[in-house]
């Protein structure tokens, strides 16, 4: 999930569900949207098992939010408010539609349809992403679908004891972490700088311990939760771009899109962006979003130096310390 979060399901649950009128019943996905969705599904099928064994068993359900219509693709159990459209030869999947309910700029994963974790995403144009970036964003969100499918995910998140009476999940976004504490800012900056330099596991672990010593137990659990929950999906974007470059060319239709770049180019750019984000990290300004790059940096370090980290990741939920 992006800066939006899992509580969105509850926040939006009270919205009225408009009927799919006659004008919308004839709605069709635009050609660029069809091509991008097809590429996201193709890429997921090609790289999931290689990147993270077991991920390939998670359904990739997508609700694409266009200006007036929402299109449901890949959902195992569509609900009755969706009307089926004609078969789509580009996607090779059934497409269903309903009148728009969610903001067309949304990027999130939550139980939006039938209680099943669903990627709810605006178009590339409305979310400000290039076509290839948008495809990798869907894989980021698809990894959130896998995370939430792990045994006891919700019970163990509740057992962290961080909700403080909140029953909506909003605590995941609004927990009062000490972002404005100068000692915490310095310690976070030290950890980020160490990751940006490519320091060894031992040095990074010392920086993490220095941060841990000045956090309360609750604050430290929240930090670990965010590194696990949001940092690793950010890492997945980079790893997926690398895997996509090895898996061969995208479809001809995808390569004909005006903003096409190769996955190898995009992987290099994402790595440079992460290095810059870590080097320039400012906890006071970025708040919770700083944990995305911190977690991705730790995940890349673990990828280089610890062959068992992915197995531990799904056993030790909400912990990513080196």
pLDDT of residue 238: 96
- Inter-CA distances, 76 with 122, 153, 202, 245, Å: 21, 21, 45, 29
Task: Identify the residue with better confidence: 29 or 10.
Answer: 29
- Per-residue confidence band for 23, with pLDDT thresholds at 50, 70 and 90: very low
The H-or-E segment that residue 139 falls in is helix 131-149
pLDDT at 5 over 50: no
- Cα gap 263→56, rounded to integer Å: 20
pLDDT at 12 over 50: no
* CB 210, CB 270: distance < 8 Å: no
CA 141-144-145 angle, 5° bins: 95
- Per-residue confidence band for 13, with pLDDT thresholds at 50, 70 and 90: very low
pLDDT at 21 over 70: no
Task: Identify the residue with better confidence: 22 or 220.
Answer: 220
Taking each helix axis from N to C end, the angle separating 131-149 and 31-51, rounded to the nearest 10 degrees, works out to 50
The residue length of the chain stands at 322
The H-or-E segment that residue 110 falls in is strand 107-113
Task: Identify the residue with better confidence: 92 or 31.
Answer: 31
pLDDT in tens, 135-186: 999 999 999 999 999 999 999 999 999 999 888 889 999 999 999 999 999 9
- Per-residue confidence band for 18, with pLDDT thresholds at 50, 70 and 90: very low
For residue 14, the cross-strand partners are none
- Per-residue confidence band for 313, with pLDDT thresholds at 50, 70 and 90: very high
Q: Would you say the C-alpha torsion 208, 213, 216, 221 has a positive or negative sign?
A: positive
Nearest to 92 by CA among 74, 105, 109, 79: 74
Mean pLDDT along residues 2-6: 43
pLDDT-above-90 percentage for the chain? 82
For residue 110, the cross-strand partners are 118
pLDDT in tens, 206-241: 999 999 999 999 999 999 999 999 999 999 999 999
pLDDT at 242 over 70: yes
Mean pLDDT along residues 273-298: 97
Predicted TM-score (pTM) of the model is 0.90
- Inter-CA distances, 268 with 55, 127, 136, 137, 241, Å: 24, 22, 14, 16, 9
pLDDT in tens, 44-77: 999 999 999 899 999 999 999 999 999 999 999 9
Looking only at the bridges linking them, the beta strands covering 62-65 and 83-84 are unpaired
pLDDT at 4 over 50: no
CA 249-127-124 angle, 5° bins: 30
pLDDT in tens, 286-307: 999 999 999 999 999 999 988 8
* CB 52, CB 243: distance < 8 Å: no
């Amino acid at each position: 999930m992006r800066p939006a979060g899992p509580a969105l399901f509850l926040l939006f649950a009270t919205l009225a569900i408009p009927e799919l009128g006659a004008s919308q019943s004839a709605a069709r996905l635009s050609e660029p949207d069809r091509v991008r969705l097809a590429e996201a599904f193709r890429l997921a099928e090609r790289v999931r098992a290689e990147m993270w064994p077991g991920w390939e068993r998670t359904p990739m359900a997508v609700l694409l939010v266009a200006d007036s219509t929402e299109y449901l693709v890949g959902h195992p159990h569509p609900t009755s408010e969706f009307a089926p459209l004609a078969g789509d030869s580009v996607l090779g999947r059934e497409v269903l539609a309903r009148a728009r309910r969610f903001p067309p700029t949304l990027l999130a994963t939550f139980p939006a349809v039938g209680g099943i974790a669903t990627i709810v995403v605006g178009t590339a144009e409305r979310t400000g992403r290039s076509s290839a970036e948008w495809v990798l964003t869907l894989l980021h969100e698809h990894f959130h679908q896998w995370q939430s499918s792990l045994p006891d995910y919700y019970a163990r998140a509740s057992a962290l004891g961080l909700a403080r009476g909140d029953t909506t999940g909003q605590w995941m976004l609004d927990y009062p972490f000490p972002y404005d504490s100068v000692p915490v800012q310095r310690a976070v900056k030290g950890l980020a700088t160490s990751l940006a330099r490519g320091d060894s596991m031992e040095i990074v672990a010392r920086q993490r311990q220095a941060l841990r010593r000045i956090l309360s137990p609750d604050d430290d659990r929240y930090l670990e939760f965010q590194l696990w929950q949001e940092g690793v999906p950010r890492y997945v974007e980079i790893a997926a771009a690398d895997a996509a470059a090895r898996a061969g060319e995208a479809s001809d239709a995808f390569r004909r899109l005006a903003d096409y770049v190769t996955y190898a180019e995009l992987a290099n750019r994402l790595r440079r962006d992460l290095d810059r984000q870590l080097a320039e990290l400012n906890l006071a300004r970025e708040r919770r979003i700083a944990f995305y790059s911190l977690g991705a940096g730790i995940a890349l370090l673990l990828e280089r130096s610890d062959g068992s980290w992915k197995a531990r990741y799904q056993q030790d939920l909400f912990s990513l310390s080196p």
